[in-house]
Structure 1
Amino acid sequence: MTTNDPIPARLAALKTAPVTALKQQWRDLFASEPPPFNRRYLESRLAYRIQELAYGGLKPETVRRLEELGEELYGGGDRRKSSHRFDRDRPITGTRLLREWQGVEYVVTVTSDGFDWQGRPYQSLSAIARTITGTRWNGWVFFGLKNHRRGP
């Protein structure tokens, strides 16, 4: 990077941009509609894409190795037959979901077979939301991944 590099400024601007601007940047950079995920997810994916376009993406050997690991993990077969949930709207493994509830910030990590909260595995976000609030919630709505008025 040079001192005249505009990329750090673009990345910093993501933090203060309105969500509507983030969604427009998504459309511009990915040529698709933005997913219904929370703001932090959009920021992180946009930041990666901006850097990828400016500095280049993964090296071909890295892509090949990741594909090999995926085949190894999933057997190269039909992913729908796996016990794992492969929903197009499901956040990618490693994504951190953040939710503030009654003044406390809760962080849930997406794992390959569910979710992790406070070091404990959960199969659903609804179970975590229920534990946090003490009432029944749709976990996708509670963590801002789905608008309960709009649907998925």
Structure 2
Amino acid sequence: MSAGEDEVAALGAMSNADLKREWERVQQAPAPPIAPSLLARDLAHRVQLAAAGGMDRGLEQRLRKLVASHADVPGTGGRAAAPSSLAGGTQLLREWGGRTHRVIAEPDGSFLYAGERWRSLSAIARAITGTRWSGPRFFGTGG
């Protein structure tokens, strides 16, 4: 095995707490509140990228421009907001827990579910399941 392969294999043997500490060491920032398996994937990607000689310069410049273009957008925390691609009136159906759940997309980008207006599909998915979901993934619209 190469050094990079050894490093990736070592990540698989780390405890959740060790993965979090390693991610914080590498990033020099607090770990985000995500599953340790995702932290491991990010660390493994970085090891593989380094072994391959780094990111393509053109791609890196495009990514930096994209991040910079959203850095001053209020409410995004520097992240690009994903626009809803659902036309107003679109109905989404999802069966969960033996029940069919119906959501209607509104023209303003909000959603109607259970007689209430919601700002995101993820909030609705969380209300239905009791756990964090990507709303677009839960409803099969992308994500």
- What's the TM-score once normalised by structure 2's chain length? 0.51
The alpha-carbon deviation at position 127 of structure 1 amounts to 0.9
| Number of the residue aligned with 1:56 | 53
Q: Is the 8 A contact 2:11 2:40 kept in 1?
A: yes
Secondary structure (helix, strand or coil) at the match of 1:79 reads coil
| Number of the residue aligned with 2:20 | 23
Secondary structure (helix, strand or coil) at the match of 1:37 reads coil
2:19 is matched by which residue type in structure 1? Answer: L
Alignment partner of 2:76 out of 86, 105, 108: 86
Secondary structure (helix, strand or coil) at the match of 1:33 reads coil
**Quick one: distance in 2 between partners of 1:112 and 1:44?**
23
Change (3 A) 1:48 1:77: closer
Q: How does 1:1-152 map to 2 (within 5 A)?
A: 4-67=1-64, 70=66, 78-80=72-74, 86-87=76-77, 112-113=82-83, 123-132=120-129, 137=130, 142-143=131-132
| Number of the residue aligned with 1:149 | none
Percent identical residues: 19
Q: Is the 8 A contact 1:29 1:49 kept in 2?
A: no
Q: Is the 8 A contact 1:22 1:42 kept in 2?
A: yes
Q: Is the 8 A contact 1:27 1:34 kept in 2?
A: yes
What are structure 2's unaligned runs of at least 5 residues? 85-93, 95-102, 106-110, 112-119, 134-143
The alpha-carbon deviation at position 67 of structure 1 amounts to 4.4
> Which is bigger in relative contact order (C-alpha 8 A, separation at least 6)?
1
For each residue in 1:25-67, what CA deviation from the matched residue of structure 2 results, as whole angstroms up to 9, or x when unmatched? 1122122221111122211111122223343321221222334
Moved more, 4-13 or 36-45: 4-13
Change (3 A) 1:15 1:125: farther
Secondary structure (helix, strand or coil) at the match of 1:58 reads coil
What are structure 1's unaligned runs of at least 5 residues? 94-110, 145-152
Specify the structure having the higher radius of gyration (Cα): 2
Q: Is the 8 A contact 2:71 2:77 kept in 1?
A: no
**Quick one: distance in 2 between partners of 1:59 and 1:39?**
27
| Aligned residues between the structures | 101
